[in-house]
């Protein structure tokens, strides 16, 4: 069957139905896309690769629960966003618990690019927002998903998604402004 399957959506359906060869091919096909998605969150390639591996593992483990309410790519991007945020939280905890180092309040501009510092600020802000606001905001502003796609993925009305994104942006903006002063 895998030889006949050409697109990711078809591979996902076959993998969801229990075809192990389709799952293997699916994971190979989506890896570059998932790595790019994770890299939009995490400033260091090694961290993005770790989050990508976690994403692929979660996809493999959860493919039987993929119900087709959204496209497979949308479902996989949601996993990538959540795994990227989890990877960042784990790295932050590990660094903070290290006996030889303390976590700086702000990234050191001499050692961190503007882009990396912005991503770190964004990840810290998303953590403060909580999942109800952080998830739709990350899907829209980081992964650039359309509102309708986010609504379908999260099982929420589109107006609720827009409202949560607006509120998340408002709170995040306030946090970033307060933190910069």
The per-residue pLDDT for 99 is: 44
Per residue in 10-54, pLDDT (tens digit) is: 999 999 999 999 999 999 999 999 999 999 988 889 999 999 999
Structural domain 112-181, CATH architecture: Orthogonal Bundle (1.10)
* Cα–chain center distance at 118: 16
Q: What is the dotted CATH code of the domain comprising 1-103?
A: 1.10.1740.10
Q: How far is the C-alpha of 119 from the C-alpha of 84, rounded, in Å? A: 11
Which of these, 5, 46, 37, 39, lies nearest to 22 by C-alpha position?
Answer: 5
Q: How far is the C-alpha of 64 from the C-alpha of 122, rounded, in Å? A: 32
Q: Are 48 and 115 in contact (CB under 8 A)?
A: no
* Cα–chain center distance at 44: 15
* Cα–chain center distance at 3: 30
Instruction: Copy the structure tokens of residue 177.
Output: 């402004």
> Lowest mean pLDDT: which of 31-45, 86-100, 105-119, 149-163?
105-119
Q: Are 76 and 56 in contact (CB under 8 A)?
A: no
Model-level pTM?
A: 0.69
DSSP assigned state of 99:
T
Q: How far is the C-alpha of 71 from the C-alpha of 153, rounded, in Å? A: 9
- Region at 157 (left for phi over 0; alpha for psi -120 to 50; beta for the rest): beta
Domain boundaries, the chain: 1-103, 112-181
> Lowest mean pLDDT: which of 69-73, 120-124, 176-180?
176-180
Q: How far is the C-alpha of 124 from the C-alpha of 149, rounded, in Å? A: 25
């Amino acid at each position: 069957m895998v030889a006949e399957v050409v697109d990711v959506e078809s591979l996902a359906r076959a993998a969801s139905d229990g075809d192990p060869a389709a799952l293997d091919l699916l994971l190979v096909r989506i890896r570059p896309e998932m790595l790019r998605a994770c890299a939009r969150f995490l400033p260091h390639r090694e961290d993005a690769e770790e989050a990508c591996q976690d994403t692929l593992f979660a996809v493999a483990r959860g493919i039987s629960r993929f119900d087709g309410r959204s496209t497979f790519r949308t479902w996989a991007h949601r996993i990538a966003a959540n795994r990227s945020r989890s990877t960042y939280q784990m790295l932050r905890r590990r660094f903070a618990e290290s006996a030889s180092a303390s976590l700086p309040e702000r990234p050191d501009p001499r050692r961190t690019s503007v882009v990396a510092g912005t991503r770190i600020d964004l990840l810290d802000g998303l953590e403060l927002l909580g999942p109800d606001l952080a998830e739709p905001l990350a899907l829209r502003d980081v992964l650039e998903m359309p509102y309708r796609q986010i609504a379908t993925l999260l099982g929420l009305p589109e107006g609720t998604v827009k409202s949560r994104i607006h509120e998340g942006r408002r709170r995040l903006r306030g946090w970033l402004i307060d933190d910069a002063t």
